Each structure stands twice: as structure tokens, then as C-alpha cells.
Chains A and B, each alone.
Chain A
Amino acid sequence: MGKRGTRIFIYLILAVVAAVILLPVYWMVIASVRTPNDLYSKSLIPSEITLSNYIEIFSNKPLRQFHIYIRNSLIVALSVMCICIIVASLAGYSLVFISYRGKDVFSSFILFGYVFPGFILMVPIYTIFLSLNLINTYYGLILADLIGAIPFSTWMLRGYMMGIPKDLIDSAMVDGCGHLSALFRVVLPLTAPGLVTVAIFSFVGSWDSLLFPLLLITTEDMLTLPIGIMRFAFGEAYHWGPLMAAAVICTLPPAILYSLVQKYLVKGLLAGAVKG
């Protein structure tokens, strides 16, 4: 095979990969704008386009209160995000720039928490939260999401902060800065991409969480999106149109956030996971 043959072969492979990646996304988007009759035509291409599925999911019927699920998901995910940014900034700074005894143990504990599978804790979390009356509350959902989000955020910010020269902190200290003002004036501005990445990952992690809401929520008005939109799928028959319209809307916040900071994401992910 010549150089040109190789090139054509590579483009052929890439075309297949692109099709495999795009077909499911296309199938979601296109189903969200088709009428039920059109879906039953069993064709990959729609014959007409409609927004009726989007109107339907926002029309607020009993057991299908999409805007309530959105509200709940936003409240929980934004809270988790704020708590993570604050707690992880402080902890990351402590782990990277201050020396004290036990630091290695703390680092290992946080790394351990980052890779610990959350499902192992579903029984005790359910039992404990039940006895603390945290069932059907935002507090319960937020606390449950923090289990994974705090160690993850801390480990990731720690990775970012290790890239900052220690001399910068030392000279700030010589200039009379305390640790807190060194954190706010020197470290945080330099870790801005890291903070944004942590914010996005903690938001999306909570936006995506299914197991703990499944355990902790029993009332309609506290459901979050992953469980809530199942209501569109299982009614009298399968409602693919409304379900896919809801799926498109659920995709928007993470997709927009990720695309805003695409160039930092890979670096951020690897600062947390690979380099460390």
C-alpha cells in the first residue's frame, strides 16, 4: 500500500468512527423533533419537523413536571459545585504549600476517596440519611453527591497547584501576606483554569447522579432529572419523542460548559488523574 493508499484507508476508518459517534446523537436530536406517526414510519430521516415534543414536556402534567426536575437538579448541582470549589481550594492549598505532619496520610486518604466506588456506600448512606430525616431533602442529595465530588475536586486542584512555583508563595509571605491572602491573591488567580474545570466536573457529576437520588427521593416534587425524565418514557406506551426532547435539554448544560473550556479539560483531567 502506498502513502496515498494509507491515507485513504485512514480516512475510511475515521469516517466509520465519526458515523458511530454521531449516529446515536443524531438519533436523539432527530427523534425529539418528529411526530409520533413519523417515528412509526421506520425511516432514519424525518419527513417533517415539529417542536411539539418540547412543548409537551414543558406543559406540566401530573407526574411529568419537567421544570420541577430541572429546578431540583440545578439547585443540587450548583450547591455541590460551590461547596467543592471552596473546600477543595482550601484543602488543595494546604496540601501543596504548607508543610505539617500527617500530610502524606491526608493526601492518600483523598486519593483513596477519589477512586472509591460510591455504590459500596449505598446501604449505610440510605440507612443513616433515613434516621437523620434527610430523605426527600436537598441537603440529602447534596451531601450524597459530595462523597465523590470533594475528594475528586481536591485531588484535581492539588494537581493544578503543584504546577505553581513555591517561590511565588514564599515571596508573597516575605511581603507580609498570610497564607489566606497568598491563596486568594497569588494561587487562585493562577489556578483559574483549574477552578473552572473543578466547577464543571463537580456540577456535571451531580447533574448525572442517579443512584443516590433513587435511594433518597420518594416524592414527585423532589425528583431530579435522571429519574424524573423516566416519567416520559414509561406511560401508557413508550414516548420516545418527549423523552428524547428531555434528553436533549439535559445534555445542554454539560455540553455548553465543556465546550467553553475544551482546551483546559484534557489538561485538567490529567492533572487530576494521570500526573498527580
Chain B
Amino acid sequence: MLSLPRKQSLIGYVLILPALLIMSLLLLYPFFYATWLSFHTKMIGAPAIYVGIKNYLDVLASKDFYIGFLRSITYTFPAVFLKLILGLGLALILNQEFKGRRIMRSLAIIPWVLPVFVVAFIWMWMYDYALGALNIILRSLGLPVVRWLSIDNAMMSLIIVNVWKGFPFFFMGILSGLQSVPQDLLDAASVDGASTIQRFRYVTIPYILPVIYIVSLLSIIWTYGDFTTIWILTRGGPGDASLVLPVLIYQTLYAEFDAGKASALSILTMPFSIFFIYLIVRLLRR
């Protein structure tokens, strides 16, 4: 017979085992395997040959990695910043009492409800040069039409799609933060003679700052890892105009069939993710 506490903890281990097993086999093991692969030349279908740090030297010597990183950063930070501004602004407006507030709140989460791939196809159609809605509107206003997915505009157009799809997440998170601000605290500040701006600065902001922080961090990670939007709209092109890291890795795997080199590339994308993952884990585990 096991003593009760030991039996207790045994049940604890048994219940969490399936989740840990799945994650070990599908996340941890592949991750270590990728690390191992990155030190080998491994053509798909052929055995792996140990090559030391050659893959890393190759990747760091070619300009692809730097371009991919630059594109990923150029995609991620403007998109997250715009989502934050739009989400915050809309949350502040819709936290007021007025007619039509409920309808606007439901409306505002529509982009978030649509599947990412559907959003990408819709915007491909919005951006169509001859028949798309945006150029039809520009034309009817007498303005010059735009090649939305040209080499110069592709990145901006992709950011627009990401912002359109992603700002409701910020909106919902920040709105729930705003609703947790105690009304009596705001009233007390008013009594003490604080202006609207001062109440916002010294009462509201400190309350919603943690939400803003965590939502932004999550969004940075997700936007950095966005494959679907870019793959459907531009495949990383034209040229390398939108060749973000996830698309670059996919292309390296498919064009060269070299799992070793593609693994080295994957590992090299990690310091960025790990830094933000570390911030999130530290914040949420507190």
C-alpha cells in the first residue's frame, strides 16, 4: 500500500502524462533532432553525414538569412505597433457608454473570427489590380490605382492584412483590462481634482499596462511566426520583398531538399523567439 500523499502524487503524474508525452514526442524530440540535423548534411531520403558547423557557416555567409531576418522584423514590429494603437484606441472608445456600443463590439471581433487562410484569400482579391475593391474605389475617386503586391508595396500590403486580422485580439484584451479598472478609484481621483488626462495617465494606464504588455509579447511571437498570410499572398516575393524567415525555411527545405541546412536556418531564427518567450513565461509564471 502506498501512503496517501505518495498515491496522490502518483495520480498527479498519471493524469499529466498524456500531455507531457505528446509534447515530448512532438515538440521536445523534434527540437533536439533539428539541433542534431543542423550539424549534418541530410538530403531528404539519404542518410545524414556529419559536417560540424558547416551548415551554420554556409547560412551565415549567404545573404538569405539576413534578408529573411530583416523582412521578418520589418513585418513584425510595424504590424504589432499598429495593432496595439488601433486596438487601444477602439477599446478606449468602446469603453464609453453610448448607443450602438454592443453592436460595435460584436462587429470589431469579426476579423478575428475569420480563418487566417480565408482572410489571406479575401485580401488577395481586395488587392487584385484590375478587379479588386481597393483599386475600384481609388479609380472611382479619380486617384491613381496601386499595384498592391508589387515589389515596393508587398510588405506594406501584407502588414495591412495582418493588422486587419489581428487588431481585435488587442481590442478584446485591452477592453477587458479597462473594465477591471475600479470605478471608485476613478471617482476618487475626480474628487481629488484630477483631470480626464491625469486620471487616464495615473489610474487607467497602470491598470491596463500588464494586459498591453502580455498581448503585445504574444502578438510579436505570432506575427514573427506567421506563414499562412505571406505564403498565400506573395510566396515571399516578388523577388525577396516579403521573404520572411518561416517562408525562407520552407523554401530552403523544398528547393534544396537539404534538411541540415534548413535546420541550421531554423535554429538561427530562435534567439529572437526565445528572448520574447522568456519574457512571456516570466510574466505569466509570476
Contact = CB atoms under 8 A, between A and B. Distances in A.
B281 A111 contact: yes
A101 interface: yes
A91 B117 contact: no
Interface residues of A, number: 99
A266 B176 contact: yes
With most chain A CB atoms within 10 A of its CB, the pick from B109, B114, B250 is B114
Sorting the interface of chain B by its residue count into under 10, 10 to 19, 20 to 34 or 35 or more gives: 35 or more
B250 to A, nearest CB: 7
B115 A179 contact: no
Interface string B1-16: 0000000110111011
Interface stretch (A50-58, A142-150, A189-197): A142-150
Interface of B: 8-9, 11-13, 15-16, 18-20, 22-23, 26-27, 29-31, 33-34, 37, 42, 44-45, 90, 93, 96, 98, 100, 104, 106-111, 113-119, 121-126, 128, 130-131, 133, 136-137, 139, 164, 169, 172-173, 175-177, 210-211, 214-215, 218, 221-222, 224-225, 227-228, 231-232, 245-246, 249-250, 253, 259, 262-263, 266-267, 269-270, 273, 276-277, 280-281, 284-285
Interface in A93-136: 93-95, 98-101, 103-104, 106-113, 115-128, 130
B122 to A, nearest CB: 5
Nearest to B96: A10
23 contacts: A27-B125, A28-B125, A86-B18, A98-B15, A100-B13, A106-B16, A107-B285, A116-B273, A117-B221, A117-B222, A117-B225, A118-B225, A123-B253, A124-B263, A125-B30, A126-B253, A127-B44, A147-B26, A150-B19, A150-B22, A210-B231, A226-B117, A262-B106
Chain B CB within 10 A, most for which of A100, A230, A259 = A100
Contact of A113 (B12, B23, B224, B284): B23
Q: Main SS of chain A's interface residues?
A: helix
